[in-house]
């Protein structure tokens, strides 16, 4: 598969198969409103086949980091409209990554009375709050009734994303946040129909995805998963259980006709990933995780070796607004600076240089 050819994923029309991965950058206001700098940042990256936004919170209770944007209030929706319009004006496509942080947060960050999770099991570690590092709190275990409320909050947020002009929504079910917490037996110790067996642990993710699809359309709905990505207190260590759980999930998603599944996993060329891909049957976006920066050669190799439809690129998208053009012409790339990944204004955000030929 040639990375530089167009693709259609559901309703999304990609000019190429280099997808900008979701990247939390923490440059929005305290009330979760993205400003002009955020508009500029995404507009600069319109040359990617698809932009997936940073993880965006659906409700205050689901906010995971200071400086993270939301899609709950009208003010946020209106601010995002400027982002999506700027990306569209430059010929790009952008979906919103809908991220409920679940237990990866603190009330000092959310400003709410509680943080929530599948079970009252805290992460062993500390959250970076505006008042310093604090032990992760024990989350309130959502009751069965409360789960429908959370599902409705996510659906409303997905509708807001469409109202804000996004081309679709990526359901964030990876990297240890709320939906991933349901999938993992360590964070999910429930004894109702949402806990225990692989079928039960996959149930909430399936219900949420179906409800969002119902609200905004299958062709505009994608989902990101990271099987056995053991971070933020997640421990999916039993390979057979991982296979069973994500297998149930893929089987349930298969008939829905979703735009895509995006998978983050170190061994993409594995039996597990091949099987999940086959069971889903639709467009697959791959990313091999945080350990090594995904390079041009790696991206080309990954797509070929895994028969994926596209590759998600994280750190090089931070450092290269015109990455697609650079890769296509085999030009040099800028190196990303991790010191400015999070919350440092324009520096390391909108000031990475583009090639002479990309200047408009
Ligand atoms: C600064 C930073 C922020 C990230 N934020 C998110 C996020 O909001 N949502 C998500 O699903 N993944 C997030 N990731 C993971 C990336 O999407 C991607 O999987 C990772 O960077 C590995 O790809 P790469 O080698 O191309 O950088 C983040 C990664 C980095 C480096």
**Domain of 35?**
7-359
Q: Is residue 286 included in any domain, yes or no? A: yes
Residue 25 maps to a domain:
yes
In the beta sheet, which residues pair with residue 286? 263, 311
The CATH number of whichever domain residue 200 belongs to comes to 3.20.20.70
Residues in CB range of 323: below 8 A, 6 or more apart: 18, 47, 48, 313, 316, 317, 333
Residue 23 Cα to ligand 1 midpoint, Å, equals 5
Q: Residue holding tokens 């999304």? A: 12
Q: Is residue 2 part of a domain?
A: no
347 found inside a domain = yes
In 3D, which of 288, 286, 172 has the Cα closest to residue 224? 172
Task: Report residue 311 as tokens.
Answer: 């590759």
331, two tokens? 């030009």
Residue 316 lies in a domain: yes
Task: Find the 143 Cα to ligand 1 centroid distance in Å.
Answer: 31
* Structural domain total, the chain: 1
**Ligand 1-lining residues (CB < 6 angstroms):** 21-24, 54-55, 97, 172, 174-175, 224, 264, 287, 289-290, 293-294, 313-316, 341
Contact status, residue 21 vs residue 317, Cβ threshold 8 Å:
yes
Residues taking part in catalysis: 177
Coil, strand or helix at 8: strand
Report the predicted TM-score, pTM, of the whole model to 2 decimal places.
Answer: 0.98
Domain assignment of residue 1, yes or no = no
How far, in Å, CA of 56 to CA of 35, rounded? 14
Q: What 8-state DSSP symbol labels residue 70?
A: B
Q: State the CB neighbour count (10 A cutoff) for residue 123.
A: 24
* 190 inside domain: yes
Q: Is residue 244 part of a domain?
A: yes
pLDDT per residue of the chain (360 residues) written in tens, 0 to 9: 799 999 999 999 999 999 999 999 999 999 999 999 999 999 999 999 999 999 999 999 999 999 999 999 999 999 999 999 999 999 999 999 999 999 999 999 999 999 999 999 999 999 999 999 999 999 999 999 999 999 999 999 999 999 999 999 999 999 999 999 999 999 999 999 999 999 999 999 999 999 999 999 999 999 999 999 988 999 899 999 999 999 999 999 999 999 999 999 999 989 999 999 999 999 999 999 988 899 999 999 998 888 899 999 999 999 999 999 999 999 999 999 999 999 889 999 999 999 987 665
pLDDT at residue 344, rounded to an integer:
82
């Amino acid at each position: 598969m040639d990375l530089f050819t167009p693709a259609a994923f559901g309703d999304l029309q990609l000019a190429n198969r280099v997808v900008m991965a979701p990247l939390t950058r923490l440059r929005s206001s305290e009330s979760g409103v993205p400003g002009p700098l955020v508009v500029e940042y995404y507009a600069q990256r319109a040359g990617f086949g698809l932009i997936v936004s940073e993880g965006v919170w659906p409700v205050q209770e689901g906010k995971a980091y200071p400086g993270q944007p939301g899609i709950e209030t009208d003010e946020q929706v209106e601010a995002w409209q400027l982002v999506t319009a700027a990306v569209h004006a430059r010929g790009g496509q952008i979906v919103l990554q809908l991220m409920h942080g679940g237990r990866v947060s603190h009330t000092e960050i959310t400003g709410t009375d509680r943080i929530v999770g599948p079970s009252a099991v805290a992460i062993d570690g500390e959250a970076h709050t505006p008042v310093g590092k604090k032990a992760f709190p024990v989350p309130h275990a959502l009751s069965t009734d409360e789960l429908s409320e959370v599902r409705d909050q996510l659906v409303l947020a997905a509708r807001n994303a469409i109202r804000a002009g996004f081309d679709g929504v990526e359901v964030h079910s990876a990297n240890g946040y709320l939906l991933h917490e349901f999938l993992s037996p360590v964070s999910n110790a429930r004894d109702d129909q949402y806990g225990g067996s692989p079928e039960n642990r996959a149930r909430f993710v399936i219900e949420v995805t179906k409800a969002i699809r119902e609200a905004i359309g299958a062709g505009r709905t994608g989902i990101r998963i990271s099987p056995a990505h053991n971070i933020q207190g997640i421990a999916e260590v039993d390979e057979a259980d991982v296979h069973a759980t994500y297998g149930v999930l893929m089987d349930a998603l298969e008939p829905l006709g979703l735009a895509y599944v995006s998978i983050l996993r170190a061994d993409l060329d594995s039996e597990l990933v091949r099987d999940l891909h086959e069971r889903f049957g639709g467009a697959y976006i791959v990313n091999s995780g945080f350990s090594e920066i995904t390079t041009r050669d790696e991206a080309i190799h990954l797509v070929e070796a895994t028969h994926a439809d596209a590759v998600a690129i994280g750190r090089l998208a931070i450092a290269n607004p015109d990455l697609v053009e650079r890769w296509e012409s085999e030009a040099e790339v800028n190196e990303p600076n991790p010191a400015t990944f999070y919350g440092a204004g324009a520096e390391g955000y909108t000031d990475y240089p583009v090639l002479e030929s990309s200047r408009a």
